[in-house]
Structure 1
């Protein structure tokens, strides 16, 4: 009986020891797993923190560089735009200067004078008026005979300063204007809405030259 009891005691002890050994192995394995997981977590966090810090530091200078390049490009574009604008302004100013010059020239050449004659609305003189080229040779003789070369050249000189065409106008009078080398003519449009009095003078070797244009409001008393 005693022997049997000892045997049961030894068997229980062996079982408890086996259980204890198994528990220790499980506990050891669990600790190892926990340690591995902890190391993995630490490594993962280190990698994440490293990735977050390094690219950020590297990215900022790149953005700054891009910003600087963008400013330089904008500056170049602004300068190019300004140059084009200045060039356009220069061209416009040149055109304006040319127009002013032309207008000034016109004002200098074509002068409007006042008149005390009640039938005269406006008097014009122009230094640019030229003599109508003559075909006459020899000594000049002023003539008021229709069809004569001198008379026809008088009319050519008169109409050279008018907007009227000779064939569509009425020549009311052509006469001496105080000397053999001067003449004056009164002409109107066919409907008599336009009326003019033109003074001319003879230039030796050149022909008859207009010297004065009067815009009339009436032909009564004009000749």
Structure 2
């Protein structure tokens, strides 16, 4: 039982600190590092990349909408050409920052509202994939199983990587429960660890209505901006390893 454990990092901005990146990077195997559009300033992003390199953690470019005020969690109907260019810009910026500290970008994961939009929004999914192909066609695409994004990525010759969420509730059709709804975000470390172990052993997760949803993730995400993210990640890793599993980057 091998699983990648990823977390969102590098989301502080100037004097505003968000999350415990150092704590998370001591636990996870992959870091989805912001690219400056939804969060993160260049100094923060470079420092986060440096810590990831020192910790042996794989770096992913977390591309999003240009929405600092909304933390990238508001849908934006970005024109196709603009979204392609935005994706290229973000990946390229993080690639340069990672190289400057001896690292490299290993995959791409959309953030927030963009991530959720391209579960079904084909045009935006195609724009993200075109941006990836234009500057980094060798990089895998991390996304929700069954999403249009992963299907488009596969059709374009990119490697799709299915992801599950440790601390988010699911709908019966395998989508994430919107954050605006009660119970969308889970906080209890023991509950989260138990449901992730079930994902890995049984290949299922219980949806918010009690039905069973099939999952076969290569990576599991812990949100870095939640207050107990480090505690959750540590508990999750202990439970996985205690069951004989290994936390390693996806191949």
TM-score over 0.5 for the alignment? no
TM-score, normalised by the number of residues in structure 1: 0.20
TM-score, normalised by the number of residues in structure 2: 0.18
- Larger relative contact order (C-alpha < 8 A, sep ≥ 6)? 2
The structure that is helix-richer by fraction is 1
Greater C-alpha radius of gyration: 1
